[in-house]
Amino acid sequence: MIDIRLKVFRCVAVNLSFTKASQELYISQPAISKHIKELEREYNCRLFDRLAGQIQLTAAGLLLLDHANKILKDYQKMDFDMNALQQKITGELRIGASTTISQYVMPEIIAAFRRQYPDIHISMLSGNSREIESALEQSRIDIGMVEGIIRQPQLRYTPFMDDELVPIVSTKGRLADRDTLSIEELKVIPIVFREFGSGTLDVIQRALEKRHISLTDLNIEMNLGTTEGIKHYVEHSDCMGIVSIRSVNKEIYNDVFKIIDIDGLKINRQLVFVEKQGDRGELQRKLKAFITKSYKV
């Protein structure tokens, strides 16, 4: 029932890429171009400027994007309400989650959620916390989940789960015989962190600042873009990593990693929902209620 052209247009507009829209919507690139050309013919205007292999929205494109966001949101609510008359919960839910959450928290939750609501189609975007917040502001996702560092006043943050970041070393490395380290020793040990923009690194940085330590005081060997990358690097080196306890439970049980305590340094955080102010989509509410019922803060 929905005009597929609006959905295609919005996807191209938020990605500024015909290729990415094709991949995201599972529609061929010629079909994507056809839908955009039909809209341009219908309204007798260009929606995109095409320059040097890149595209950008024209003034008409920006206006249409504003309307498309409103129309597609209203359609989603209509679809939900009409199906609810038949006791059927259906619709499309676009989730964004920071890397740690998308890898170690959400798969189990989504599997359980879909067992209860099999007619809800879910897609999930993964990125660091700042990328997820940006995707939400650009209307590329309906709801995000990030580490609990509140940044954007135009977004709303709601805690749903506690987490702890722990220092890990390889059980085969030179630090394997240590149980604790002092803050001074921490400064000289080679360490691997997540990349800048990561919520995990933000939380670590704030915890260190409370002990009057900056990142420049540490012996940072490398910044890596994923927790899995840190784990693999630490496993095969004498470096330390600081990661979510949720990401290493199996490896600790299997004696791959060991947790080392740092005197006076505990790094706790909250995982939070992040939404646009004022947004109250029914599918978002269903997901939030499902998660918060399972995980009490």
Q: Tens digits of per-residue pLDDT, 156-184?
A: 999 998 999 999 999 999 999 999 999 99
Averaged pLDDT score across all residues of the chain: 89
- pLDDT at 297 > cutoff 50: no
- pLDDT at 1 > cutoff 60: no
**Separation of alpha carbons 118 and 112, rounded Å:** 10
**Residue 295 — pLDDT band, cuts 50, 70, 90?**
low
- pLDDT at 221 > cutoff 70: yes
Cα–Cα separations (whole angstroms), residue 170 to 57, 176, 185, 215, 224: 50, 6, 17, 22, 17
pLDDT of residue 76: 79
pLDDT of residue 279: 65
Single-letter amino acid code for the residue at 112: A
Please tell me which residue, 1 or 140, carries the higher pLDDT value.
140
State pLDDT tens for residues 3-61: 789 989 998 998 889 998 898 888 999 999 999 999 999 999 999 998 877 899 999 99
Q: Which of 60-64, 81-85, 199-203, 250-254 has the lowest mean pLDDT?
A: 81-85
**Separation of alpha carbons 273 and 214, rounded Å:** 28
**Separation of alpha carbons 44 and 33, rounded Å:** 16
Closest C-alpha to 170, from 254, 101, 246, 105: 254
pLDDT of residue 267: 93
State pLDDT tens for residues 244-290: 999 999 999 999 999 999 998 999 998 999 998 876 678 888 899 99
Over pLDDT 70: what percentage of the chain? 97
State pLDDT tens for residues 93-104: 899 999 889 989
C-alpha torsion angle, residues 133, 138, 142, 148 (rounded to 10): 10
Single-letter amino acid code for the residue at 178: R
pLDDT of residue 32: 93
Q: SS3 string of the chain?
A: CCCHHHHHHHHHHHHCCHHHHHHHHCCCHHHHHHHHHHHHHHHCCCCEEEECCEEEECHHHHHHHHHHHHHHHHHHHHHHHHHHCCCCCCEEEEEEEEHHHHHHCHHHHHHHHHHHCCCEEEEEEEECHHHHHHHHHCCCCCEEEEECCCCCCCEEEEEEEEEEEEEEEECCCCCCCCCEECHHHHCCCEEEEECCCCHHHHHHHHHHHHCCCCHHHCEEEEEECCHHHHHHHHHCCCCEEEEEHHHCHHHHHCCCEEECEECCECEEEEEEEEEECCCCCHHHHHHHHHHHHHCCC
Over pLDDT 90: what percentage of the chain? 56
